[in-house]
Amino acid sequence: MGRDEKDTRLMRLCLGLACRGEGQTSPNPLVGAVITRAGRIVGKGYHQRVGEPHAEIEAIKDAGKTTSGAEMWINLEPCDHRGRTGPCTEAIINSGIKRVILGMEDPNPRVKGKGIAKLRKNGIEVKVGLLEDECRRLNEGYAKFICTRTPWVILKVAASLDGKTATRAGQSRWISGEKALSYVHRLRNKMDGILVGVDTIIKDDPLLTTRLHGKKGRDPVRIVVDSKLRVPLTSRVLNLQSEAITIVATTDRALPRKHRKLEQMGAKVLVITQDNGRVDLPSLMKEIGALNITSLLIEGGSTINASALSSGIVDKVICFYAPRIIGGKQSPGMVGGNGVETLEQAVSLEDLRVRRLGEDVLIEGYIKKSQ
């Protein structure tokens, strides 16, 4: 096996290790590390949860006394500052590791380039950019949040082949099949927050929790966009036994007594700037970013979907198409609002991926931000 092939194989191992921390490390990134000596893996580690040792420290601990003269693979540049834990660069230097292969620079301004420079200054060979696209995709949410302090936003939609999200009578459970539903709950487990409009709460009374087969999931923070505080006090999102809180985002049009009642029930109420009488979504993103909600899944109806897309807060779209045709002018579509006048004004996606999930087809892509 050649050097490049070996480096690639070990970086893929790092990425696989990093994924084990999904849903546990926010607002930190997902990081895995592998150490080899004389062509043999002697240490592996990953960042398991926020506040605990970083991947590099775990791998060095796993390697024990075999790190002198060894090589290390990491999908993200090691930190060179003291936060909840000490600088990883110091641990690498003190371990005697002679060569470090990195997937990408850390986009965090506190880190970017500093960890690499520190290692090189201390005589360690550093290679940067191996499987960089894959490494960036793994931590795309972290990268956006750390640079903008606003969450990475995914818009998720489930629809029939003709783009309908419910029948004319409002029946929508379940358009998607079991595998698609399971995928969505695994996605919820990775996200910090989940957002819907108040109409979804009134119509469907969803739980917005994570339910995984065979193990306990991590509930995202539930966020309800409700400009006039119409949310019923009996709604299940307000009456859950969950470690995650429910946030209701409203405006100054809401009645103060309803505001007080919601907070008495344990909800957090955020009064957000108006946009034509509705909650201004970009302002809401700044507010929830300040709460360290780094990633957000929108699972609302056509109205909130339209607002999210037109406001420019969406980064990625995930759409499940079920093999059904519903039809009818009164059956709701995926995106409401007034729509656009010309094709040039349409929201465009790039870097599309298509795959089967049971009987459904999953299409995902990124919003073209240069429109």
Q: What is the per-residue pLDDT across 49-96, written as a single tens digit (0 to 9) for each? A: 988 999 999 999 999 999 999 999 999 999 887 666 678 999 999 999
**What is the value of pTM for the model shown?**
0.92
From 147, 200, 106, 75, select the one nearest 315 (Cα to Cα): 147
d(CA 52, CA 25) in angstroms, rounded, equals 9
| Amino acid 3: pLDDT | 67
Tokens of 50: 């926020």
Helix 88-95 and helix 114-121: axis angle, to 10°? 20
Residue 56: active-site member: yes
**What local confidence, expressed as pLDDT, does residue 2 receive?**
57
Distance (Å, whole) CA 279 – CA 250: 6
Catalytic residue among 52, 56, 105, 243, which?
56
The strand pair at 32-37 and 40-46 is best described as antiparallel
Q: What is the number of alpha carbons within 13 Å of residue 133 lying toward its C-beta?
A: 1
Q: For residues 272 and 261, what is the distance between their CA atoms, to the nearest angstrom?
A: 18
Q: 341 CB contacts (<8 Å, ≥6 apart)?
A: none
Q: DSSP class of residue 113?
A: T
Name the token pair of 33: 């590390």
Residues of the chain with pLDDT under 50: 371
In the block, which residue shows the tokens 């109205």? 303
Instruction: Decide: 159 and 188 in contact? Cβ < 8 Å.
Output: no
**pLDDT (0 to 100) of residue 74:** 97
- Residue 312 and residue 208 in contact, taking contact as beta carbons nearer than 8 Å: no
User: Is the preceding omega at residue 27 within 30 degrees of 0, hence cis?
Assistant: yes
Q: What pLDDT is stored for residue 337 in this prediction?
A: 82
Q: Average pLDDT of the chain?
A: 92
Tokens for 295? 């990633």
Identity of the amino acid at 367: I
Q: How far apart are the C-alpha atoms of 207 and 218, rounded to whole Å?
A: 13
Q: How far apart are CA 141 and CA 152, in angstroms?
A: 5
Q: What is the pLDDT of residue 173?
A: 74
Is residue 262 within 8 Å of residue 238, measured between CB atoms?
yes
